[in-house]
Structure 1
Amino acid sequence: MGNSSVSIAFSDIVAAARRYSLAGMLGWQDVRQRYRRSSLGPFWLTISMGVMIGTIGLVFGGIFATPMADFFPFLSIGLILWGFISSVLTEGCTGFIGAENIIKQLPIPLFVHILRMMWRNILILGHNILILPLVFIFVGKPLHLISLFSIFGMFLVLINLLWIVLVLSIVCARYRDLPQMIISVLQVVFYITPIMWMPTLLPKRIGLQILNYNPLYHLIEIVRAPLLGELPTMTNWVASILFAVVGWFVALVIYGRYKRRIAYWL
């Protein structure tokens, strides 16, 4: 039963990957539709993110008495990544629900809708990333060769987010109250993840417990640390990789088992 479920799920995902151009076109259309007749389009989000980074940086940098040259880049990368991750997870809850009409009318692989949602958020992330060079120039912080590790880190982040939103899309299609619960959980996780505060501010013993058992911290750190000129810890890499391997196995089993029921739940 388990092998059969994995086979069904894997076949759908491979079929969706082959139609990546369709997912890309739909994702691009989503962005254009969302910001149609807007002069700046997605750059409004970039401006909003920049203002938020500047405000939080000045306030919390002063409260924590942290040098701005260290805190501003740390905060900027953290907020941009968190904005991407939280948007993907939130929209992932309605990944299949939002595509109800297409699912009921066209026989295309269901995973296409997950890729569509992911590509849509990657495009918005691309706009927000433009803030980082300005922040690094402002504080005079150079990039190092270590920064290239952030590419591998971002790849792991995307791999993990894909299986998470696949599971969320399935479960939330069945149980419609879950999206609100996910939003509430994300608000709590935001405050226990080092984004507006640096890990060095935590007491050593309690801090290690909070960080080690927070998978989103590890995912953010494997991207943020290289950009700040530091190597992520082995714990960060191992946790992120194990999270992906175990998560994808669980996601494939769940997807293969319930794939045929999704259309009836919508």
Structure 2
Amino acid sequence: MQATSVVEEPPVTVVHAGRNFPAALSDIRRGFAQRELWAYLGWQDIKQRYRRSVIGPLWITLSMAVTAAGLGLLYSQLFQIPVGTFLPYLTVGFIVWNFMLGCMVEGSDTFISNEGLIKHLPAPLTVYALRTVWRLTLMFAHNLLVYLVVVAIFFGDLTQDGYALTPGGAPQPGLDWTFVLAFPAFALIAVNGTWVALLFGIISTRYRDIPQVISALTQLLFFVTPIVWPVDILTQKFEQTGSWQVLVAELNPLYHFIQILRAPLIGSEQSWHHWAVVLGITVVGWALALLAMRNYRARVSYWV
């Protein structure tokens, strides 16, 4: 009887596809590559929201115009600031804030609201985050119509060399070629909005109280962020005393995001430390989002 030899094969290392960085990076890369899918879904969201409406998405523009005009006229009188410089400042602040607010609030609900698609459509999770950001980008574009009207009305005030947002405030250079910096600024904000939607979306899918917490905190963030009040008010009141209140705006990361886009759009002075802060937050934010994708990407379909 002939003995048979048993050949021992080397052990095979099994790596769980859902808990490694290459799988997470692949999801993000494939998500950006499927731009036709998330662009179509985002556009359909806008069409569905204003279905059977007479003026359709222009309601977005009209709502922004009424809000900016009402609050601009009110706060310009309260702060004793000329309307010609304050209304553009407030309008752009509102437009940028609405985009960032949507990334936080709607981003936290990204995967929950796409429950049906996640369970039946074999697509990367990044597609749903990009769907949210693209929908908000379309709304941002509609709101820019209000900005164009405001700039056309107060163009003379914004192009004056050395104009001030508040009486006695820091002189501003006025609208010039630095207007083009608004394009990379918005692109950078949108990139941050994507990681916010991914990170907050994953956490909110596991803990359903998070969207309510974010909605409550955004109300506080709105009032402590220089949107309806200029930073010059703080500096004029507290800079001489050296009080900590003068740092309220600088310690608020949302202020830096708003300022990199608002400054070129209204001819305000560009400060590169705003860009440095935003770039730093971008790196840290995407690192956290990538870590969350690595650890919990495979569980989202079960959590929803």
| TM-score, normalised by the number of residues in structure 1 | 0.96
Q: 1:7 aligns with which of 22, 34, 59?
A: 22
**Residue 234 (str. 1) matches residue 272 (str. 2):** yes
Quote the Cα distance in structure 2 between the aligned partners of 1:84 and 1:245. Answer: 20
- Counterpart residue number, 1:160: 192
Structure 1 position 254 matched with structure 2 position 292: yes
Equivalent position amino acid for 2:49 in 1 = R
For 1:197, give the aligned amino acid: W
Q: Which moved more, 1:95-104 or 1:232-241?
A: 232-241
Equivalent residues in 2 for 1:112-261, closer than 5 Å: 112-140=127-155, 141-142=158-159, 143-202=175-234, 203-204=238-239, 205-261=243-299
Structure 1 residue 207: Cα displacement: 4.3
CA distance in 2, matches of 1:261, 1:223: 36
Q: Please give the per-residue CA displacement for 1:48-81, whole angstroms capped at 9, x wherever unaligned.
A: 1101111101110000001112101100000111
Percent identity between the two aligned chains: 37
The structure with the larger Rg is 2
Matched, 1:98 2:98: no
For the 8 Å contact 2:42–2:134, the answer to whether it is kept is yes
* Contact persistence 2:103–2:196 (CA under 8 A): no
Query: 1: distance between equivalents of 2:203 and 2:113?
Result: 14
1:215–1:5 distance in 2 versus 1, CA, 3 Å: farther
Q: Which has the higher contact order (CA 8 A, sep 6+)?
A: 1
Give the drift of 1:99: 0.7
Amino acid at match of 1:134: V
Give the match for residue 32 of structure 1.
47
Residues 1:88 and 2:103 are matched in the alignment: yes
Instruction: Give me the whole-angstrom Cα distance separating, in 2, the residues matched to 1:86 and 1:233.
Output: 23
| Pair 1:41-2:56 in alignment | yes
Per-residue CA deviation, residues 34-55 of structure 1 (Å, 9 max, x unaligned), is 1110011111121111011111
Whether the 8 Å contact between 1:92 and 1:168 is mirrored in structure 2 is: yes
In structure 2, what is the Cα distance between the partners aligned to 1:15 and 1:172?
23
5+ residue gaps, structure 2 = 1-14, 160-174
Richer in helix (by share): 1
| 136-145 or 16-25, larger mean C-alpha shift | 136-145
Q: CA deviation at 1:6?
A: 2.7
Distance in 2, Cα, partners of 1:158 & 1:84: 9
Question: C-alpha root-mean-square deviation of aligned residues, in Å?
Answer: 1.4
Gaps of 5+ in 1: none
Given residue 118 of structure 1, which amino acid in structure 2 is its aligned partner? V
1:22 maps to 2:54: no
The alpha carbon displacement at 1:234 in A equals 2.3
1:146–1:230 CA contact under 8 A, matched in 2: no
Deviations 1:136-190 (A, max 9, x none): 1212334421111111111111111111111000000000011010001111000
Deviation at 1:128, TM superposition (A): 0.7
Tell me, what secondary structure is at the counterpart of 1:211? coil
Q: Which residue of 2 aligns with 1:108?
A: 123
Q: Deviations over 1:23-42 (max 9, x none)?
A: 00111111111111001111
Question: TM-score normalised to the size of structure 2?
Answer: 0.84
